[in-house]
A = this chain, B = another copy of it.
Amino acid sequence: MYDLLKGLRVVEGAAFVAAPTCGLYLAQMGAEVIRFDAIGGGPDFRRWPLAENGSSLYWEGLNKGKKSVALDLASPAGREIAQRLATAPGSDAGLFVTNFPVDGFLAYETLRRLRDDLICVRVMGWADGAQGMDYTINAALGLPQMTGPADDPRPVNHVLAAWDLLTGAYCAFGLVSALLARMRDGRGREIRAPLSDIAAATMANLGFTAETLAAGHQRPRIGNDVFGAFGRDFMTRDGQTLMLLAITPRQWSKALEALGLTAEVAAVEAELGVSFATDEGLRFTHRARLYPLFERAFAQRTAAELGAAFDAGGVTWGAYQSLEAALEDPRLYKGNPLFQEVRHPSGLSYPAPGAMATVPQDRRSDVRPAPRLGQHTDEVLADVLGMSAGEIARLHDDGVVAS
Contact = CB atoms under 8 A, between A and B. Distances in A.
Contacts of A205: 21, 24, 61-62, 64, 353
A170 to B, nearest CB: 4
Contact of A204 (B5, B216, B339): B339
Nearest to A250: B43
Interface stretch (A70-78, A141-149, A265-273, A372-380): A141-149
Interface stretch (A289-297, A321-329, A394-402): A321-329
Contact of A233 (B157, B231, B362): B157
Contacts of A327: 209, 212-213
A132 B247 CA distance: 12
A402 to B, nearest CB: 19
A288 interface: no
A135 to B, nearest CB: 6
A206 B44 CA distance: 12
A82 B173 CA distance: 26
A403 interface: no
Contacts of A199: 332
A336 interface: yes
Interface stretch (A83-91, A221-229, A298-306, A383-391): A221-229
Interface in A189-222: 189-194, 196-214, 216-219
B169 A158 contact: no
A207 B324 contact: no
A318 B140 contact: yes
A155 B227 CA distance: 17
Given A140-B332, A176-B173, A241 B206 contact: no
A311 to B, nearest CB: 8
Contacts of A19: none
Interface in A102-160: 108, 126-128, 130-133, 135-137, 139-149, 152, 154-160
A21 B226 CA distance: 20
A70 to B, nearest CB: 18
A65 to B, nearest CB: 11
A323 B218 contact: yes
A210 B47 CA distance: 14
B209 A132 contact: no
Pick the 10 closest A-B CB pairs, nearest first: A48-B228, A136-B318, A142-B323, A169-B169, A49-B211, A162-B162, A201-B353, A218-B323, A57-B207, A58-B207
30 contacts: A29-B177, A46-B280, A47-B247, A49-B208, A49-B210, A58-B228, A61-B206, A127-B336, A131-B251, A131-B315, A131-B316, A136-B243, A139-B319, A139-B321, A141-B332, A146-B159, A155-B224, A155-B233, A155-B320, A173-B176, A189-B361, A193-B356, A199-B332, A200-B332, A200-B338, A200-B339, A203-B323, A209-B351, A212-B323, A217-B324
